[in-house]
Each structure stands twice: as C-alpha cells, then as structure tokens.
Chains A and B, each alone.
Chain A
Amino acid sequence: MSFDTIASYMPLLLQGALVTVQVTALSFVISTLLGLLLALMTVSKVAPVALAGRSIVNVIRGLPIIVQLFYIYFVLPEFGIDLTAFQAGVIGLGVAYSAYQAENFRAGIEAIDPGQVEAAESLGMKSAKVMRRVVLPQALRIALPPYGNTLVMMLKDSSLVSTITVAEMTRQGQLIAASTFDNLTVYTLVALLYLALSLPLTFMLRRVEKRFAIGGKR
C-alpha cells in the first residue's frame, strides 16, 4: 500500500465519488418529490386516492432495490424506453426510496394535532391551503430527522447502481481491483472515501435538525 499506488488509484476513485454524489443528490430529489406525492395520496380523504397511494408504497417497499434497478435498466428497453445506466440508476434509486420517504412524511403529517387543522379551517382556508400553510410546515419539521437519515442511507445505497454499470465509486473500485488484484488498498480507499462523505453529512444534518426544530432559533 504505497503512496504511489494510492496516488494512481485516486483519480478514478474521485471521479467515481463525483458520480456517487450526483446519483445520490438526484435520486434524493426524485424520492423526495415522489415521496411527498405518495404521502399526500395516502392521507387523502378520497378513498380511491388513498388506496392507490398505499398500494404503490407497499409494492415499492416489497421489492428489492436491485430488482427495481434491473427492471428499469434491462426490462424497460423492451417497451421502447431506453435509459442510460446513469438515468436508470437515478430513477431506480429515487423510486425505490420514495416509498420510505412517503412513510416518513405520512408519519409527520399524522402526528399533527387535529386542532391545528380545525383552527386553519376556521380561518376559512381550503384544504390545500391548510395542508400547505399549517400541516406540512409542521409535519416536515417532525419528519426532518428520518429525512436526514434517509439521505445518508441513499448515499450508501447508491453503490447498488454499480450493478447496472454506473461508474460510481464502488464500480470504479471494482474495476481497479479487478485489474490490479490490490483488493486491500482499493477497498480500504473506497471505504474511507464513503466515510469521508457520510460522516460530515451526518454531522451537518444534526445541525440542520437543531436549527429547524419547532421553537428553535430560526
């Protein structure tokens, strides 16, 4: 494990790290938007909408993430939907995690005192505005800690897209290790690089949580 070998591996691994960050960030955005939509569906008073929301969440949660990735990357082309490995990875991870996001958001929404909704309704607000101005701002604060945890999990689980050839960090490590047989150095570097991403992220999230807690400094 000499300095020279490490230096020779680093460019590719850092390239991979960049892709890892991109995949994580994009799929996090997708999972957030889709998760929010699914959460709003599951708490809807319109029964068929709620049922549809719950069903989608249950199906997504019932499938291994890898199977979802394979499906999007290998099966969708048969229906004329061709995606690059990167696109398939981002969408697959985003969809897979939207179910967990939906559950987080739903728990937050259901934790809100019904008296809040009644107070908002009594001001003449329509239900969409009650949701937007009163329920969601409070629910999202409650959902913030699990939301942050989800981001860290997604950072780690972004390594799954290596299985569909996306050249993120784990994949780059595999490629280098396969050609050099230097497993020890390569995977130690990969592990350290994941920690270099996840530990600061975790630390940062704790601070954000504190800042946004209700009654906290704003």
Chain B
Amino acid sequence: MITIEALHKKFGETPVLKGVDLRVERGEVICLIGPSGSGKSTLLRCINGLERYDDGIVEVLGTPVDRDKKSIHEIRTQVSMVFQRFNLFPHRSVLENVMEGPLHVQKRPLAQVREEAQALLDKVGLGHRGDAYPQQLSGGQQQRVAIARALAMKPKAILFDEPTSALDPELVGEVLKVMRNLAAEGMTMVVVTHEMGFAREVADKVCFLHDGRLVESGPPEQVLGAPEHPRTREFLRRILDSGDAP
C-alpha cells in the first residue's frame, strides 16, 4: 500500500533521511522507533506530502507522492494523519472537527456525515462531547477526537506521529486503547512511538531508525526482544533506564 525506496531528504545542507526503504502492506501495523532527531517525523511526513523529499520513491497505492502535484489531495484523503499536539481546529466544535473533512473536502451529504461523525465519537468514547470545543477537553480526549477526525475520511491508512507524547501519563492509556482497537479492526497504521509496550503487543513490524537510516526492522519480538544491531540495543537500554517502557 505504501512503498518507500531509497528515500533521501535534506534540510538545507543537513541530510536527515539517507536512503530509507520501507513497505507497508494493507492491514499492517508498523511502529517506527528511534532516538530524537533520527528522522522519524520527517519520514512519516514524506508519506502524505507534508514534507518534500530530494531523491527516491514514495508511493501510496501506486501513486507517487509529490506535494506540488494535484494528486496529493487525493492521496491525503486516503492517508490520514494524527499529530503529537492534536492540531484540532479550536474554532469548531468537536463534532464539526470530525465532520470537516468528509463534509468540506469529500463533499458527502450532511445527514450521512453527521451520523457517521457521531458514531465515530461514540467509538472513541466521546459521543457525549460533540458540542464541546477542543480547548474544553483533556489532552487524551482531544487526541481521541483527532483520531475520530482522521477516521472520518475513511482512510486506507493512518499515520501517527508520537500520538501520546504530549499527554500526561495517566491519559496515555485511553488513546492507546483506541489505537489497539483500530489495529484489531485491520486498519493500516504507521506509528511513531516511544511506547514499547504498545509496539510489542500491536505491531506487525518494528523499524528502528537511527541517523536517517533504518538500521533494523522485523517482528517486535526480534527487534525489541533480541536486537541484532548495537545501536538498537543501546537505544532500548536507554529507553528502559528512563522508565518509559511498561
């Protein structure tokens, strides 16, 4: 579904992605891990064209991703994104946030869109907060609304960029639970995360990114349980020491 080959990206003179290859199949959950600054966000943002890249191939469902081409809008309706800091629209109610894409981009009929949006809010446990404004919700609630907003597009895949990193520890669980359910329903997901427990339990594949290269990829029990690469081992040891993992 998503194909990335020999992806290179520089910010000015600084190379950030140095030849990344990654394939995401339908229904797969891929967790991207790696130290800060290794290029995880940049890689993710290349997939839906929020970032330009310099060289290599990025394709979604066979269409090359190019943020300067018209096709990008279609690609973005098929690949939704959930951000670390939620980025809900503060001037619209929770329900309106969820309805925004289907109603104003996909131009689907209002009655149907409203019904689906309400069902999605129910699904993430916020069916009763549709009239609230984002800033009246907790971070965990806002992130669940953001997930509902992403789902409302009926995407083929969802990209998550550290969806729980901006949350207070006690709110992380409620968001991960929603994501677990999505994975169980077969949603294709690429998740940048530091939640090793989530990765171990949910991911089909864990990819460790270091300094712009994917140094190790494989099933979670291999990459997280018996990492081959010294960089991976060092990274996991540091994460465990800092108490991030359950």
**Interface status of B114 (Cβ within 8 A of chain A):** no
A215 to B136, CA, bound (A): 8
Whether A123 contacts B100 by the Cβ 8 Å rule is yes
| Chain B residue at minimal CB-CB distance from A134 | B89
Whether A214 contacts B91 by the Cβ 8 Å rule is yes
What residues of A have a CB within 8 angstroms of the CB of B101 in the complex? 123-124
**Complex interface bits, B55-95 against A, C-beta within 8 A gives 1, otherwise 0:** 00000000000000000011011001101010111110000
Name A's B-contacting residues (CB within 8 A).
113, 115-116, 118-126, 129, 133-134, 137-138, 141, 214-215
| Chain A residue at minimal CB-CB distance from B134 | A215
Whether A124 contacts B50 by the Cβ 8 Å rule is no
**Interface status of B235 (Cβ within 8 A of chain A):** no
Whether A129 contacts B89 by the Cβ 8 Å rule is no
Whether B104 contacts A125 by the Cβ 8 Å rule is yes
Whether A124 contacts B87 by the Cβ 8 Å rule is no
What residues of A have a CB within 8 angstroms of the CB of B135 in the complex? 214-215
**Interface status of B153 (Cβ within 8 A of chain A):** yes
Whether A119 contacts B80 by the Cβ 8 Å rule is no
What residues of B have a CB within 8 angstroms of the CB of A116 in the complex? 87, 89
A125 to B73, CA, bound (A): 7
Whether A124 contacts B90 by the Cβ 8 Å rule is no
Given A115-B83, A126-B73, A133-B100, are A121 and B50 neighbors across the interface (CB < 8 Å)?
yes
A125 to B136, CA, bound (A): 26
Between A and B, 19 residue pairs with Cβ closer than 8 Å are A113-B87, A115-B85, A118-B81, A119-B87, A122-B48, A122-B76, A122-B81, A123-B101, A123-B149, A123-B153, A124-B73, A124-B74, A124-B105, A124-B106, A124-B153, A137-B91, A138-B89, A141-B91, A215-B136
| Chain A residue at minimal CB-CB distance from B159 | A122
| Chain A residue at minimal CB-CB distance from B150 | A122
**Interface status of B198 (Cβ within 8 A of chain A):** no
Whether B105 contacts A123 by the Cβ 8 Å rule is yes
What residues of A have a CB within 8 angstroms of the CB of B73 in the complex? 124-126
What residues of B have a CB within 8 angstroms of the CB of A122 in the complex? 48, 50, 76, 80-81
What residues of B have a CB within 8 angstroms of the CB of A126 in the complex? 73
What residues of B have a CB within 8 angstroms of the CB of A124 in the complex? 73-74, 76-77, 101, 105-106, 153
A108 to B62, CA, bound (A): 40
What residues of A have a CB within 8 angstroms of the CB of B133 in the complex? 215
What residues of B have a CB within 8 angstroms of the CB of A129 in the complex? 104-105
| Chain A residue at minimal CB-CB distance from B81 | A122
A134 to B89, CA, bound (A): 7
Whether B90 contacts A138 by the Cβ 8 Å rule is yes
What residues of A have a CB within 8 angstroms of the CB of B83 in the complex? 115, 118-119
A137 to B85, CA, bound (A): 20
What residues of A have a CB within 8 angstroms of the CB of B48 in the complex? 122
A118 to B50, CA, bound (A): 7
What residues of B have a CB within 8 angstroms of the CB of A141 in the complex? 91
A174 CB, nearest partner CB in chain B, Å: 47
Whether A214 contacts B50 by the Cβ 8 Å rule is no
| Chain A residue at minimal CB-CB distance from B82 | A122
